[in-house]
């Protein structure tokens, strides 16, 4: 499958590499046509790995991953272009974080979320929020944790969510996937990220996740 | 030990009953001197179970549990009186929830929290935020879940947190207790409650909790 990955930070390139490894054709997109990270990545990844602008990557992909920083996501998606995103699934892994101090805060929360903002800005795109609750390495290697943990999906389009569940399960190896509901539940997973940050500090590791335990 | 429990909803009476069962002298406090829930509870609980106003309960207890609704907590604590809370540990289990619609929101979050508001309002009281991430039954029966799960403590006073950790472990049976840091980390656990709510809806149960899984 042809996949566009927006963002050339750790998340974008980690997901991009996994997708290339799975045999997909991947274009990572950034603000600049030849972002040094993206150029180096494409060289390393050998085959099926391309780079370009946000617009190039959005046009290229049948499915798009948003792996940009939350603070830059709406701008990046505008550069990608509504027409290039139209009718497509947009897998939104971003978090609306302000990391300017040690105490992280969110730039949107409680009565709205970045997932909802993106869905409102691109009504013809099927936004599915997922994977934002874990570090990039855990996203594509959930089985590296010592027990099976949980990942969430939030979105308005049932079929798009089913496709994303398939991707999470069959491509990335997730075994416990909970559908939280429509895109407003992006608030829940985005607001969880402050607890993730506190936990990371408390346990001095980014390689962790949560598991839901019932009675 | 003499313990004051503020609030006569499910959380207050569930914790109150557990404390009575453990042999402590417990006074549950409410706005009214003879709240019907509290009167019935004291009758059922037989020995060591008293009821009174918020002020009576705060005066009575050597340690105080805040089990009031978050929206009413500051008012209840003001009625309890700063003098009656002075120098004592206040175990804050409350959540600043607006439940007026199906989509829960918080009345304070992100750059502040109810835990911090309470600590600021009562600087001579040792506020420890904990237990707000689980349902009342799980608070006092963590071993009823099929695996060991996690509970968090947040607070500025190290010795007060050590006492609360002892209470959680020896009285309530918690085996996995994570100290998140000072009272600003109350933001993390209060903001988590929206994910708790989404999970409750998704799995149709309130009897669950999370476990932290590492690599």
pLDDT bracket for residue B99 (50, 70, 90): confident
Q: What is the pLDDT of residues A164-178, one digit of tens each?
A: 999 999 999 999 999
The answer to whether B21 and B80 are in contact (CB under 8 A) is no
Average pLDDT score, chain B: 97
Shortest CB distance from B209 goes to which of A146, A205, A213? A213
The predicted structure's pLDDT at residue B9: 96
How far is Cα B66 from Cα B25, in angstroms, rounded to an integer? 16
Q: What is the pLDDT of residues B66-89, one digit of tens each?
A: 999 999 999 999 999 999 999 999
Please check the confidence at residue B135 and state whether its pLDDT lies above 80.
yes
pLDDT bracket for residue B170 (50, 70, 90): very high
Q: What is the pLDDT of residues A84-128, one digit of tens each?
A: 999 999 999 999 999 888 889 999 999 999 999 999 999 999 999
Chain B residue numbers with beta carbons less than 8 Å from the beta carbon of A187 are: 194
Give me the percent of chain B exceeding a pLDDT of 90.
96
Chain A residue numbers with beta carbons less than 8 Å from the beta carbon of B203 are: 178, 212, 214
The predicted structure's pLDDT at residue A44: 87
Please check the confidence at residue B194 and state whether its pLDDT lies above 80.
yes
Beta strands in chain A (DSSP E): 2-6, 25-30, 49-53, 63-66, 89-92, 97-98, 105-106, 126-130, 150-155, 176-181, 208-214
Exposure string over A20-59, b if 16+ CB within 10 A, otherwise e: bebebbbbbbbeeeebebbbebbeebeebbbbbbbbbbbb
The predicted structure's pLDDT at residue A101: 84
Chain A residue numbers with beta carbons less than 8 Å from the beta carbon of B99 are: none
How far is Cα A13 from Cα A19, in angstroms, rounded to an integer? 10
What tokens appear for A179 in the block? 């559908």
Please check the confidence at residue B45 and state whether its pLDDT lies above 80.
no
Which residue in B103, B182, B185, B205 has the most chain A C-beta atoms within 10 A of its own C-beta, making it the best mutation to test that interface?
A: B185
| C-alpha closest to that of A93 among A204, A12, A3 | A12
The predicted structure's pLDDT at residue B91: 98
The predicted structure's pLDDT at residue A158: 98
Q: What is the 8-class DSSP label of residue A169? A: I
pLDDT bracket for residue B127 (50, 70, 90): very high
The predicted structure's pLDDT at residue A102: 81
Please give the model's pTM, rounded to 2 decimal places: 0.97
pLDDT bracket for residue B92 (50, 70, 90): very high
Mean pLDDT over residues B194-204, rounded?
Answer: 97
The predicted structure's pLDDT at residue A136: 98
Instruction: Describe the crossing of helices A70-80 and A114-121 by its angle, rounded to 10 degrees.
Output: 10
Q: Are B208 and A214 an interchain contact pair (Cβ–Cβ within 8 Å)? A: yes
Q: Are A212 and B205 an interchain contact pair (Cβ–Cβ within 8 Å)? A: no
Q: What is the pLDDT of residues A10-41, one digit of tens each?
A: 999 999 999 999 999 999 999 999 999 999 99
Comparing alpha-carbon positions, the chain A residue that sits nearest to B107 is: A110
Q: Would you call B137 exposed, middle or buried from its count of C-beta atoms within 10 A (0-12, 13-18, 19+)?
A: middle
Please check the confidence at residue B5 and state whether its pLDDT lies above 80.
yes
Exposure string over B195-209, b if 16+ CB within 10 A, otherwise e: bbbbbeebeeeebbb
Average pLDDT score, chain A: 97
Worst-scoring range by mean pLDDT, A45-59, A115-129, B106-120? A45-59
Which residue in A185, A186, A190, A203 has the most chain B C-beta atoms within 10 A of its own C-beta, making it the best mutation to test that interface?
A: A185
How far is Cα A174 from Cα B199, in angstroms, rounded to an integer? 18
pLDDT bracket for residue A56 (50, 70, 90): very high
Q: What is the 8-class DSSP label of residue A215? A: -
Other Cβ atoms less than 10 A from the Cβ of A126: the count is: 24
Q: Are B214 and A146 an interchain contact pair (Cβ–Cβ within 8 Å)? A: yes
The predicted structure's pLDDT at residue B100: 87
Predicted-complex ipTM score: 0.96
Please check the confidence at residue A46 and state whether its pLDDT lies above 80.
no
Chain A residue numbers with beta carbons less than 8 Å from the beta carbon of B111 are: 105
Cα distance from A79 to chain B (closest Cα, Å)? Answer: 29
β-pair partners for B212: A210
Question: Locate tokens 């003098």: which residue?
Answer: B83
Comparing alpha-carbon positions, the chain B residue that sits nearest to A188 is: B195
pLDDT bracket for residue B44 (50, 70, 90): confident
Q: What is the 8-class DSSP label of residue B31? A: S
The answer to whether B96 and B114 are in contact (CB under 8 A) is yes
Which residue in A195, A202, A207, A211 has the most chain B C-beta atoms within 10 A of its own C-beta, making it the best mutation to test that interface?
A: A195
């Amino acid at each position: 499958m042809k996949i566009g990955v927006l963002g050339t930070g750790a998340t974008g390139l980690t997901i991009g590499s996994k997708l290339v490894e799975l045999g997909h054709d991947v274009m990572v997109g950034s603000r600049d046509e030849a972002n040094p990270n993206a150029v180096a990545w494409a060289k390393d990844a050998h085959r099926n790995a391309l780079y370009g602008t946000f617009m190039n990557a959005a046009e290229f992909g049948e499915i798009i991953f948003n792996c940009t920083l939350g603070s830059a996501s709406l701008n990046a998606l505008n550069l990608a272009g509504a027409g290039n995103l139209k009718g497509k699934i947009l897998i939104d892994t971003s978090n609306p974080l302000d990391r300017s101090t040690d105490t992280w805060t969110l730039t949107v929360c409680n009565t709205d979320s970045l997932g909802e903002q993106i869905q409102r800005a691109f009504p013809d795109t099927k936004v599915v929020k997922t994977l934002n609750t874990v570090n990039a390495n855990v996203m594509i290697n959930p089985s590296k944790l010592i027990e099976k943990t949980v990942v969430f999906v939030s979105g308005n389009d049932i079929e798009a969510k089913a496709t994303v569940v398939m991707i999470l399960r069959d491509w990335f190896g997730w075994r416990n996937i909970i559908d939280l509901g429509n895109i407003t539940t992006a608030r829940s997973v985005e607001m969880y990220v402050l607890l993730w940050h506190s936990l990371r500090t408390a346990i001095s590791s980014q390689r962790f996740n949560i598991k839901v335990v019932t009675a």
